[in-house]
Chain A
């Protein structure tokens, strides 16, 4: 009996299956020790769309999000696809350890959930989930999210205000623990597609060295975020 119940719920879960509208309560927690998230975009959408896809080149809109935290382009994409969204639920940056909770009502057919936000300070790193099948069975589900590299900007780790797509450098460190005068870590990304971020290097020299980031503060290990979905 127990096995059958388990199997049934597992099937329902795997099927994703939620073709009808759903009420979701969502909590996202920044698990990192020294990295902020820029405004999150959380979207329920058909399986025909993606905010990003691993192993594929980033769209211009994803690049704008990953390099400068600008979610306006991706938000427009969700709207155009008839998706449902919550944009910027934390009303700004989500600090290390902090959580943001919100509700999302999904329309018919919007049975995939995606999440993106830039990880600061990085060149083009972002936390993300691509097209998670939204569980159909009421209950609480927890997932972990990794840090991705958009593959659009060299990870030079120079904090120079550069957040516009195509402009080298990191916009800022919200902790204000960055150094200056770094010579630059990477001149180019080897992988131009979306891939797992290799992490930042940093150094312990606040006035030089290869990086403007502090290796004792700005590194992380995966996972970098927790995603909890309560299906009502």
Chain B
């Protein structure tokens, strides 16, 4: 609840500061270090869990290829719950989407800070019709961006390495299956964060899969456009 409130406050501040003539001397001027983020879900039928975004200094990395996922990433990647990840940046600017970002849809929001040391962006969201696939960016240095500059990223699907990709209805939380989300057991074959191998689906021979051809995806899965305010 607290983190949702924090996101709302940031949106509010952004709205104030977008009016440059409104200088009441109390609102931090986040245009000093503010960004508009646009997310486009590039998949056919992988809804994305409420995206989490946060600004931080360069000392935080939410995940790393070849390393076991943190509990926060496991909770997000298996069940779409971003609260643990956002809690890791308590006190820094954070944002949480209010709902899922549906396939083909665009989400646009602003995030910022008056502290120019908080110049690195992390963003994460789950592909909900999977066992433990997620996408995003982590520890992206935005400090070289000037006002009006824009950068675009195309992000791959990652596998959290925390849940075997059985694609069973009991283990896929998204709307095509309605199964379990987070489970603390870790039973994947390699146990570390990697790129995702894609889903098989019952249309491609996995007879007990809850997924169809519609949930298959290829890289990239998300477009991220960042514009410095």
Contact = CB atoms under 8 A, between A and B. Distances in A.
Interface of A: 29-34, 95-99, 175, 177, 201-204, 209, 215-224, 226
B189 A97 contact: no
A168 to B, nearest CB: 22
Contacts of A201: 204-205
B61 interface: no
Nearest to A201: B205
Contacts of B190: 33-34, 95-97, 175
A223 B165 CA distance: 19
A216 B195 contact: no
Interface of B: 65-67, 156-157, 159, 161, 164-167, 189-190, 192-198, 200, 204-208, 218-219
Contacts of B67: 97
Contacts of A95: 190
13 contacts: A32-B197, A33-B161, A33-B196, A96-B190, A97-B192, A175-B190, A204-B200, A204-B208, A215-B205, A218-B197, A220-B197, A221-B196, A222-B219
Contact of B65 (A203, A220, A226): A226
A216 B194 contact: no
A201 to B, nearest CB: 7
Contacts of B189: 33-34, 175, 177, 217
B197 A33 contact: yes
A127 to B, nearest CB: 12
B206 A99 contact: no
B37 to A, nearest CB: 22
A203 B194 contact: no
Nearest to B205: A203
Contact of B200 (A29, A31, A177, A215): A215
A216 B219 contact: no
B105 to A, nearest CB: 23
Contacts of B218: 221
A96 B198 CA distance: 15
Contacts of B164: 216
B195 A33 contact: yes
Contact of B195 (A32, A98, A203, A217): A32
B197 A97 contact: no
A219 B195 CA distance: 11
- List 5 A-B pairs, minimum CB-CB distance, nearest first: A97-B66, A97-B192, A31-B195, A219-B197, A33-B194
A101 to B, nearest CB: 12
